[in-house]
Structure 1
Amino acid sequence: MKKEDKAKVIEQLKELLETYPHAYLVDAMALDAEQTTALRRQCFQHGVKMMVVKNTLLHRAFVDINEEQYEPFHPYLKGTSALMLSESANAPARVLKDFHKELKSAGADIKRPSLKAAYVYDTFYLGAGELDTLAALKSKEELIGDIISMLESPIMDVISQASSAGNTIHGVLETLEKRAEA
């Protein structure tokens, strides 16, 4: 690869890393063409951008952006690496978990693609053991929904109690009226 081409790739990687808030580094070495296509399709469906990258070019992009910020990624830049970028924190982890389930149901005994490292919500998750933790993280939209439902719950309780109190008062008045007539 020519020096100019490398510089273009590094610039593209820098733009993508600055655009997407969450980055996953994945080992996708043992996948054949059909499996890679299936994984890319799932990534596209879930809004995850996936690309196979040269480790040295990705390392240079990390250094150019902020070497200290991405320094925990450096030991994991070995072997075949795929970079998964997403707006949603948990989407790449869920894609990987679903893809593993599909491989297992098809009878394949493949442990890849496996998580090398992830940068999510300004925190690093290192190693394949963190995949379940990352998949369980809530996205920004899910957190907002939870907050809204927590705020809405007390209001709904007050409205419910007020409407039931009105029914209770109405019932008491009807009973008193029937007694008065009798």
Structure 2
Amino acid sequence: MTKEEKGAIIEELAEKFAATPYFYITDAGGLSVAKTNELRRLCFERGIEYRVVKNTLISKALERLDTDYSSFDGTVLKGFSGVMFHDESGKVAAKLIKDFLKANKNSITLKGASVDSALFIGHDQLETLLTLKSKQELIGEVIGLLQSPAKNVISGLQSGGNKLAGILKTLSEKEAA
């Protein structure tokens, strides 16, 4: 690979890392060709882009970003590295890895992940990534929590108004009789 080709790959990766808020770096080096193709097919079906890239190229692309990915250098960027990119959710790739591991024991290892610029290093972080809520889910929960007290006050006022109207109606009917 020429220097120009490497530079083009680094530039393309840097743009992809900057544009994609969720990416996972995995090790699937022990997979057979058939299992690798199965992994790639699953990634395609779930809208995940999966690329195998040299660690030095990944490292140089990450250096161009504003977020500090230096903790990836010593631990994550060793050996075989495949990068999974997903635009919409941080959980999709984690779920894929877990599902793939159910069918293929010890076949793929999570080396590291970046979810909205938060770094997760090591395969033991897979469960954490599976339970992680997206920004949209958190915003929805906060809005629901903020609306709940207001709804309670409004329903209390409405029920109180109905009771008061009923009492006034009953009193007016007694006076008329």
TM range (shorter): 0.7 to 0.9
Q: Which residue of structure 2 aligns with residue 20 of structure 1? A: 20
User: Is 1:72 aligned to 2:71, yes or no?
Assistant: yes
CA distance in 2 between counterparts of 1:74 and 1:138 reads 27
SS in 2 for 1:85: strand
Q: Which residue of structure 1 aligns with residue 96 of structure 2? A: 95
Deviations 1:1-30 (A, max 9, x none): 233322222221111112112321111123
CA distance in 1 between counterparts of 2:9 and 2:83 reads 13
Q: Which residue of structure 2 aligns with residue 142 of structure 1? A: 137
2:127 corresponds, among 132, 139, 144, to 132
Deviations 1:116-166 (A, max 9, x none): 011223332111001111111111211221122122212221222122123
Question: What is the TM-score normalised by the length of structure 2?
Answer: 0.82
User: Is 1:164 aligned to 2:163, yes or no?
Assistant: no
CA distance in 2 between counterparts of 1:139 and 1:95 reads 17
Q: Which residue of structure 2 aligns with residue 6 of structure 1? A: 6
Corresponding letter in the other structure for 1:27 = D
* Matched residue count: 175
Q: Which residue of structure 2 aligns with residue 123 of structure 1? A: 118
Structure 1, unpaired ranges of 5+: none
Q: Which residue of structure 1 aligns with residue 147 of structure 2? A: 152
C-alpha change, 1:166 and 1:41, in structure 2 (3 Å) is farther
Q: Which residue of structure 2 aligns with residue 31 of structure 1? A: 31
Structure 2, unpaired ranges of 5+: none
CA distance in 2 between counterparts of 1:95 and 1:162 reads 49
> What CA RMSD, in Å, does the superposition of the two structures yield over aligned residues?
2.6
CA contact (8 A) 2:43 2:49 kept: yes
Identity of aligned residues (%): 41
Question: What is the TM-score normalised by the length of structure 1?
Answer: 0.80
